[in-house]
Structure 1
Amino acid sequence: MDIAFVLYPGMTALDLTGPYEVLAPNPGVRAHFVAATPGPVTCDSGMVITAGSALGDLPRPDVIVVPGGSGWRAALDNETELVAWLAAAYPHATWTTSVCTGSTLLAKAGILTGRPATTHWSVRDVLADLGATVSTERVVIDGDVVTAAGVSAGIDMGLRLAAEVWGEETAQRIQLVLEYDPQPPFDTGSVDSAPPEMVEAVRRLVRG
Structure 2
Amino acid sequence: MAANNNIPHSYGLLLFPGFEVLDAAGPIEVLNILSKYFSHSEMSLSVIAKTVDTTVTPGPIAPDENSKQFTGQQLYQPTHSFETAPKDLDVLIIPGGRGVNRTDEELKPLLDFLRHCYHGTDGRQSLQYIFSICTGSTLLARAGILDGHKATTNKKAWNRVTPLGPRTHWVAKARWVESNGRVWTASGVTAGIDGMAALVGRVYGEETADRVCEFIEHVRVKEAGDDPFAEVNGCRDVLPVE
Aligned to 2:171: 135
TM-score, reference length from structure 1: 0.84
Aligned to 1:78: 106
Alpha-carbon distance in 1 for matches of 2:30, 2:211: 10
Shift of 1:96: 0.4
Aligned to 1:192: 231
Alpha-carbon distance in 2 for matches of 1:66, 1:20: 11
The verdict on how the C-alpha distance between 1:63 and 1:135 changes in structure 2, with shifts beyond 3 A counting, is same
Identical aligned pairs, as a percentage? 33
Shift of 1:29: 1.1
Q: Which amino acid aligns with 2:179?
A: D
Shift of 1:191: 5.3
Aligned to 1:57: 84
Does residue 111 of structure 1 match 2:119? no
Alpha-carbon distance in 2 for matches of 1:5, 1:105: 14
Alpha-carbon distance in 1 for matches of 2:183, 2:231: 26
Shift of 1:122: 3.0
Shift of 1:128: 3.5
Does residue 165 of structure 1 match 2:203? yes
Which one has a larger percent helix, Structure 1 or Structure 2?
1
TM-score, reference length from structure 2: 0.73
Aligned to 2:4: none
Alpha-carbon RMSD across the aligned residues, in angstroms, is 2.0
Alpha-carbon distance in 2 for matches of 1:70, 1:109: 17
Misfit runs of 4+, over 4 Å: none
Aligned length: 190
The verdict on how the C-alpha distance between 1:41 and 1:75 changes in structure 2, with shifts beyond 3 A counting, is farther
Shift of 1:23: 1.6
Aligned to 1:148: 186
**Which of 51, 57, 73 is 1:42 aligned to?**
57
Q: Which amino acid aligns with 2:48?
A: V
Alpha-carbon distance in 1 for matches of 2:198, 2:185: 11
Alpha-carbon distance in 1 for matches of 2:190, 2:212: 16
Q: Which has the higher contact order (CA 8 A, sep 6+)?
A: 2
Q: Which amino acid aligns with 1:134?
A: W
Does residue 101 of structure 1 match 2:128? no
Q: Return 99-108 or 173-182, whichever deviates more.
A: 173-182
The verdict on how the C-alpha distance between 1:118 and 1:21 changes in structure 2, with shifts beyond 3 A counting, is same
